Amino acid sequence: MNKEYEILQSSKVSRASGFIAIFLIIFLFFAPWWAGRADIRLLSEIFLYLSLASLWNLLAGYCGLVSVGQQAFVGLGGYLLFALTIFSGFNPFAAILVSGILGALISLPVAFLIFRLRGAYFAIGTWVVAEVFRLSFAQIQSLGGGSGSSLPVGIVKSIASSKAMRESLTYWMILGLTVFILLSVYLILRSRRGIALIAIRDNELASQSLGINILRSKLFVYVVTAGLTTILGGLIFLQKLRISPDAAFNVNDWTAFVIFIVVIGGIGTIEGPIIGVLVFFILRETLADLGSIYLIMLGFVAIFVMIRAPKGIWGFVSSKYNIELFPLSRKLKEIKGE
């Protein structure tokens, strides 16, 4: 009796959620035809936060690299967009792609410094690096120094002549990049590299002894994340058309809210950032008028979720109902043969 086996990385649920995801992406692609300008802006912002959250989740939730300094790369991306278009005459979209590569390269020496630090020291180190970036860019007088500058009209016009077309193009870029980032994170985690990251997270000693180079695995994720975050930064400030050091390297906007989203949604799960970003924007849209009370409310929500569901909303749901929408697991299945 010779049994045969196969290894499955998907399930009925995952195929269904993949199908729904594709449908949703097509639907969102046509948003410029069915949504108003304000809605397009809101959707863009949701996608940008979803991307930032997925990347931070990969970094902190899967690699244990709890960075509170990702604003370094958001700001870098914004400033590179301005510098490359103003000084080097790049087309804005080309500038954003180039800045992604530059961001990844710059993250290498940064990693060399901060990877010597562990735990809380690592977190503080990332923040210090972001502050150094902020102070450095504030010194560049040709980009407006401490008070910042606007993207010249000529460059803005070079994206597209009409305002509506420009906004639609930017929206599609953001949507496309979001799909690319979510898919990348998912595919990385499903790959051999991904299972190595999860193995490291579960047991460093065993993962090393079984041939995994921990430093190299984490460095790979750090550099990829930095490059993609830099690209996001470029798109964020292409949408804003104005940049200043305080806005570009803002720890609240680009890190604190992102951490909130991931922790609320479920850190270390693929689905967590998606749930988290929805909760965050629902809260923001309903409570933003309350001013600073809104931030206090966010704090309470965070505390409540952390006490009642330490693994976030998705962690709670998935362990209760035992579901994975986007599975990473490899399941052994017997093929009933003759």
Partner 1 sequence: MKKILETKNLCKSFGAIKVADELNFHVAENEALGIIGPNGAGKTSLFNLITGTIKQDKGNIFYQGESIDHLNVPNRCHQGISRSFQIPQPFGGLSVFENTFVAASHGAGLSTAIANKTCIQILEQTGLLSKANQIANTLTLLERKRLELARALCAKPKILLLDEIAGGLTESECQLLIQTIFAIKDTGISIIWIEHIVHALMSVVDRLTVINFGAKIADGPPKEIMNSKDVKEIYIGIEADA
Residues 80-99 as x/- pattern, contact with partner 1 by CB under 8 A: --------------------
Helices (H) and strands (E) in the chain, counts: 17, 4
The candidate with the shortest Cα–Cα distance to 128, out of 178, 67, 174, 172, is 67
Pick 29 or 115: Cβ nearer partner 1: 115
* Matching residue, tokens 């950032």: 273
CB nearer to partner 1: pick between 8 and 306: 8
* Residue 278 token pair: 């929805």
Q: Output the smallest distance, CB 338 to partner 1, in A.
A: 19
Q: What three-state secondary structure class fits 203? A: coil
CA distance 231 to 171: 14
Q: What is the DSSP string of 72-93?
A: HHHHHHHHHHHHHHHHH---HH
Work out how close the CB of 309 gets to partner 1 at its nearest, in angstroms, rounded to a whole number: 18
Minimum gap (Å) between residue 328 Cβ and partner 1: 9
Q: Under the criterion CB under 8 A, does residue 150 sit at the interface with partner 1?
A: no
Within residues 312-331, the interface with partner 1 by CB under 8 A covers 329-331
In the complex with partner 1, which residue's Cβ is closer, 153 or 205?
Answer: 205
CB of 322 to partner 1, least distance (A): 11
Instruction: Give how many residues touch partner 1 by CB under 8 A.
Output: 24
Q: Residue 288 interacts with partner 1 (CB under 8 A)?
A: no
Angle at 226 between CA 234 and CA 63, to 5 degrees: 145
Q: CB-wise, 154 or 211, nearer to partner 1?
A: 211
Comparison of 139 and 213: residue with beta carbon closer to partner 1 = 213
Instruction: Identify which of residues 4 and 39 has a Cβ nearer to partner 1 in the complex.
Output: 4
Which of 167, 288, 178, 302 is closest to 231 using CA atoms? 178
CB of 200 to partner 1, least distance (A): 9
What x/- string results for residues 96 through 115 when contact with partner 1 is judged by CB under 8 A? Answer: --------------------
- Is the Cβ–Cβ distance between 57 and 268 less than 8 Å? yes
In the numeric block, the tokens 């970003």 are attached to 277
Amino acid at 126: T
Among 1, 2, 5, 162, binds partner 1 (CB under 8 A): 5
Q: Which residues within the stretch 164-203 sit at the binding site for partner 1 (CB under 8 A)?
A: 192, 195-196, 198-199, 201-203
Helix (H) or strand (E) holding 39: helix 37-56
Strands 331-335 and 149-150, by their bridges, are unpaired
Least Å from the CB of residue 104 to partner 1? 24
> x/- site string to partner 1, residues 203 to 232, per CB under 8 A?
x-xxxxxxxxxx------------------
Q: Within its chain, how far is the Cα of 1 from the centroid? A: 50
Give the C-alpha separation, 69 to 159, whole Å: 30
We find the least distance from the C-beta atom of residue 329 to partner 1, in angstroms, to be 6
Q: From the centroid of its chain, how far is CA 88? A: 28
Task: Identify the DSSP state of 325.
Answer: S
Residue 207 C-beta: closest distance to partner 1, Å: 7
- The residues binding partner 1 (CB under 8 A) are 5, 7, 192, 195-196, 198-199, 201-203, 205-214, 329-332
